[in-house]
Each structure stands twice: as structure tokens, then as C-alpha cells.
């Protein structure tokens, strides 16, 4: 019984983590597009107060988070099947 609860919690944790990674990836992609469309030759947008120099930092953090999730211990086989049916880590397009 306790093992079933732990499997459920582990599955939820993986779902939540992968959702956060998708959100971070969307933010990084949005910032890249926004800075590209700013049209500033030096890559700095004075209206936003940031430059293209932030992109490598954001990508590094995304890569670190994805690596952490991918290298974590997976839940039991039954819990993993339910989790994998909802989330596919192969859908991540990581910048490294």
C-alpha cells in the first residue's frame, strides 16, 4: 500500500517536472524570438532591458534541469507506464 502511494507520488513528480521543463523551454524560445524581432543590431532591446547574452544562460539552465530529470531514478514499471503515456521526454528539443 505504501509502495503504491510512493509510485503515485513519483509519477506525479515526474509529470510536474516535465511540465516545468516544457514551460522553461517555451520561455527560452519566446525570449529568442522576441530578441530576434527587436531588430537592434547589437542584440540589446532597451525597452525590455535585456540582451541576447541572456540566451546562453537560459539554455544552460534548461539543459541542467533536463539532465537532472533524465538522470533521476524512474518510478516502478507500472507507474512509469502511466507516466510515459502522458509525457514523452523525446518531445524536448534541448539546446545542447
pTM for this predicted structure? 0.58
Give the pLDDT score at 93. 52
Give the pLDDT score at 40. 61
* 19: three-class secondary structure by DSSP: helix
Dihedral of CA 23/96/82/11: which sign? negative
Band (pLDDT 50/70/90 cuts) for residue 96 is: very low
Q: What is the pLDDT of residues 35-86, one digit of tens each?
A: 777 766 555 555 556 677 788 888 898 888 888 877 876 655 555 555 555 5
77-86 CB contacts, 8 Å cutoff, 24+ apart: 78/7, 79/7, 79/8, 79/10, 79/11, 80/11, 82/11, 83/11, 83/14, 83/15, 86/15
> Measured between alpha carbons, how far is 92 from 20 in angstroms, rounded to an integer?
12
* 74: three-class secondary structure by DSSP: coil
Amino acid at each position: 500500500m505504501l509502495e503504491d502511494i510512493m509510485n503515485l507520488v513519483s509519477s506525479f513528480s515526474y509529470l510536474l517536472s516535465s511540465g516545468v521543463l516544457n514551460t522553461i523551454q517555451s520561455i527560452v524560445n519566446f525570449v529568442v524570438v522576441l530578441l530576434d524581432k527587436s531588430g537592434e543590431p547589437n542584440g540589446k532591446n532597451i525597452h525590455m532591458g535585456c540582451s541576447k547574452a541572456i540566451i546562453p544562460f537560459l539554455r544552460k539552465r534548461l539543459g541542467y534541469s533536463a539532465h537532472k530529470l533524465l538522470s533521476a531514478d524512474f518510478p516502478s514499471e507500472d507507474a512509469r507506464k502511466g507516466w510515459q503515456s502522458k509525457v514523452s521526454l523525446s518531445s524536448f528539443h534541448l539546446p545542447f
